[in-house]
A and B are shown apart, each in its own frame.
Chain A
Amino acid sequence: GESVGLHLPTLSVQEGDNSIINCAYSNSASDYFIWYKQESGKGPQFIIDIRSNMDKRQGQRVTVLLNKTVKHLSLQIAATQPGDSAVYFCAENSGGSNYKLTFGKGTLLTVNP
């Protein structure tokens, strides 16, 4: 079946640097993409989403970029802080009446002070 995957399982950055977390997807019918943050011992928390008719969407310190040509999604975190240390998941939804999400394995982001 279709799946969502990640290029890098771990990422270590210095506090204040920008972080980029990547995700590849294979279902060309996917209509929405969602990024979640999961801190140690907690449940996944919604960060930002993007619809397939958009290339870019910005939130507070986060930007998601979507490249449909190569089926690639990225999450950029500006001025990374220690509180950003977590596992980041991408998820895809094929839209319509499909109420299920397909999750990637996640990337562990570690921010060094």
Chain B
Amino acid sequence: NAGVTQTPKFRILKIGQSMTLQCAQDMNHNYMYWYRQDPGMGLKLIYYSVGAGITDKGEVPNGYNVSRSTTEDFPLRLELAAPSQTSVYFCASSIQGAPGNIQYFGAGTRLSVL
């Protein structure tokens, strides 16, 4: 079972560059999420989606954009990379109506902006 797959695993960007972090899940989950994790800190929600065509902001959306054209894919876009966006990014998914909303995570994308 693939679960949640994130690409790339690592990336170095220069300030001002753009990139898209890819996330795909094969569990037919309605809900998908993007988090960032800074060293020694907890997960902070960037954006989430409750289904194809529906997205909403989380705690820290500034500097990011998302789209959800299919159930499986939820890419995260950085338009003008800044050093403050250096972090580890995790994508997660969960199934609608599941007790407790247990989320399943990908392996992460480690991004450095220099």
Residues of A within 8 A of B (CB): 31-34, 36, 41-46, 49, 51, 89, 93, 95, 98-101, 103-106
Contact = CB atoms under 8 A, between A and B. Distances in A.
Interface residues on B, range: 20 to 34
Contact of B50 (A31, A34, A36, A99): A99
Nearest to A42: B107
8 contacts: A31-B100, A33-B100, A41-B108, A43-B106, A43-B108, A95-B100, A99-B31, A100-B58
B102 interface: yes
A100 B104 contact: no
B90 A43 contact: yes
Given A42-B108, A46-B104, A99-B50, A51 B99 contact: yes
Contacts of A42: 107-108
B41 A105 contact: yes
Nearest to A5: B42
A37 to B, nearest CB: 11
Nearest to A92: B100
Nearest to B96: A99
Contacts of B31: 99
B105 interface: yes
Interface in B60-114: 90, 92, 94, 96, 99-108
Contact of B101 (A99, A104, A106): A99
Give the one of B43, B50, B106, B107 with max A CB within 10 A. B43
Contact of A101 (B50, B101, B107): B101
A59 B24 CA distance: 29
Contacts of B33: 100
A51 B100 contact: yes
